[in-house]
Structure 1
Amino acid sequence: MPKIKSPSPPPAEPPSTDVSDLQIATVSTVDAAANAVRELILDGRLEPGTRLREAEFAERLGIARHSFRAATQILISEGLLRREPNRGVQVPVFEPDDLIDVFRLRTALEVEAVRLVIAAGEVPADAEAAVREMSALPDDAPWRAVVAPDRRFHRAIIDAAGSERIARAYSTVGSEILLCLVWLRPHYDRPAQVAAEHEELIAAIRARDADRTEELLRVHLTEAAENLTRAWQELTGERVVV
């Protein structure tokens, strides 16, 4: 009886070269300009009160004035710039009462949030990752490289608390907190100083020691507020009476 040959398998199809469903992220001129100015602010190269003259900055960035205007609008919406009547766009300047008020609200929200986190019994992974990132920074890292994980650490605590209202209230002062962090740059010699303070907080959260965590957090934020008032005095030459 003759053998029946098994049918040969169909030839393998070549891998598809169709890239119609792929998307490549592009950055517009406006977004690129906003990123450049944001870096200048976060690095402290544009100090509080600095006025951004449209023609000058558009020329420096090599873009049209209308593109620069659109870029500043992005940063105004983030709270990093402010449009003042008859003065154009400038980096905001806080009064001492503003600084104290921001940190009073921030402390109340973060203390309550961290107690909820400890009660839940889990250390937020994003907070731990932020501390590792801070610890790995070289001594000469730009200040914006310190600010980014610092913000993520504190935001991770807020989000992990699981309170929509705490998160919403915290978001209302997010841009003001960011500008405060910019002012703190001269008061830290090395990123390791910032990392060490946050490592202590993580250790206390991991140990589920609510009282110790609250104490460390209050000290951390109180010292920041005191450094901010000193920065304001250095900027304006005026004495702050708290």
Structure 2
Amino acid sequence: MAEQLSGLAGDRALLGRTSTAERVSDILRSRITEGYFPPGTRLPEDSIGGALGVSRNTLREAFRLLTHERLLVHELNRGVFVRVLTVEDVEDIHRTRRLVECAVVRGLRESPRRFDALSEAVREARAAAREGDWNAVGTADIHFHRELVALAGSERTNELMRSVFAELRLAFHVVDEPRRLHEPYMARNADILRALRSGERDRAEALLAGYLDDSLERMTEVCRRGAGTAEQGV
């Protein structure tokens, strides 16, 4: 915890003179999704508030916001913890992803579109794989699907899925073999991109649906194996 708090103190400058609970929650959200505070970690108010230089009330409001986003959980008489996903959580996340991502692909117009952001995410994954950085491959995968959602041109949908993807990443941080989890999806994202570029919307949607079905199976397995490990570390 000392190392985490030391790094967190470096984020203090980001708050500036207009420190707000929203900014604190932004910092903590980033740290949580990056795996800085793994699932099951207790977040002590005094230490984190001191590292960021914010009041207890401000920090508690930030905790409340992140609890609403399902990234934190408050346990009576124990404190605030980074959430450990259940199998039911993973199922619900993928249900939401299927509803939103497949609908985005289905609703794309026939007029030409640029897919530069999707291409960049594919390149990011390949570059990270060459370096053997499989956690970064997972980040690139999330980037790809976030940019896919952005094709809808809806800020509300982007905001919804930002929380969904952040929650999904909680499961990534209890993975023993990140390569086994992330490697298969590199080629599948590239296949989805090719179908989109060629205007094959039905094929792209079918590929995406298959991706999500397999992702649900793999993430459920991860959750079953990883949740117990995270809880033991509390």
TM-score between the two structures when normalised by the length of structure 2: 0.68
Partner of 1:98: 89
Letter in 2 for 1:229: T
Q: Please identify the structure whose Cα radius of gyration is greater.
A: 1
Partner of 1:175: 163
Residue 194 of structure 1 deviates from its aligned partner by 4.1
Residue 221 of structure 1 deviates from its aligned partner by 1.3
In 2, Cα distance between the equivalents of 1:174 and 1:87?
A: 28
CA contact (8 A) 1:48 1:92 kept: yes
Q: Once the two structures are aligned, what percentage of the paired residues are identical?
A: 28
Partner of 2:46: 55
Q: Confirm whether residue 206 of structure 1 aligns to residue 193 of structure 2.
A: no
Residue 234 of structure 1 deviates from its aligned partner by 1.0
Structure with the bigger percentage of helix: 2
Residue 235 of structure 1 deviates from its aligned partner by 3.0
3-state DSSP of counterpart to 2:80: strand
CA contact (8 A) 1:82 1:91 kept: yes
> Can you give the 5+ residue segments of structure 2 that lack an aligned partner in the other structure?
1-12, 229-234
Letter in 2 for 1:129: E
Distance 1:51 1:63, change over 3 A: same
Q: Confirm whether residue 155 of structure 1 aligns to residue 146 of structure 2.
A: yes
Aligned match for 1:139, one of 125, 128, 131: 131
Residue 79 of structure 1 deviates from its aligned partner by 4.4
Aligned match for 2:14, one of 20, 27, 33: 27
TM-score between the two structures when normalised by the length of structure 1: 0.66
Letter in 2 for 1:114: V
How many residues in Structure 1 have an aligned counterpart in Structure 2? 208
CA contact (8 A) 1:134 1:146 kept: yes
Distance 1:233 1:209, change over 3 A: same
CA contact (8 A) 1:102 1:173 kept: no
In 2, Cα distance between the equivalents of 1:161 and 1:51?
A: 37
Residue 115 of structure 1 deviates from its aligned partner by 2.2
Q: Bigger shift: 201-210 or 148-157?
A: 148-157
Cα RMSD, aligned residues only: 3.6
Letter in 1 for 2:131: D
Residue 72 of structure 1 deviates from its aligned partner by 4.2
Partner of 1:87: 78
Q: Bigger shift: 172-181 or 200-209?
A: 172-181
CA contact (8 A) 1:118 1:209 kept: no
Q: Confirm whether residue 188 of structure 1 aligns to residue 188 of structure 2.
A: no
Distance 1:160 1:220, change over 3 A: same
Q: Bigger shift: 199-208 or 62-71?
A: 62-71
CA contact (8 A) 1:118 1:205 kept: no
Letter in 1 for 2:223: W
Letter in 2 for 1:188: P
Which protein, 1 or 2, shows the higher relative CO under an 8 Å CA cutoff with sep ≥ 6? 2
Q: Confirm whether residue 224 of structure 1 aligns to residue 211 of structure 2.
A: no
What are the Cα deviations for residues 71-123 of structure 1, in whole angstroms up to 9, with x where unaligned?
64564465432334443221123332232122112112211211223633324
Distance 1:43 1:224, change over 3 A: same
Distance 1:105 1:128, change over 3 A: same
Distance 1:176 1:158, change over 3 A: closer
Partner of 1:19: none
CA contact (8 A) 2:171 2:219 kept: yes
Distance 1:157 1:117, change over 3 A: farther
> Can you give the 5+ residue segments of structure 1 that lack an aligned partner in the other structure?
1-25, 238-242
Letter in 1 for 2:33: L
In 2, Cα distance between the equivalents of 1:141 and 1:74?
A: 31
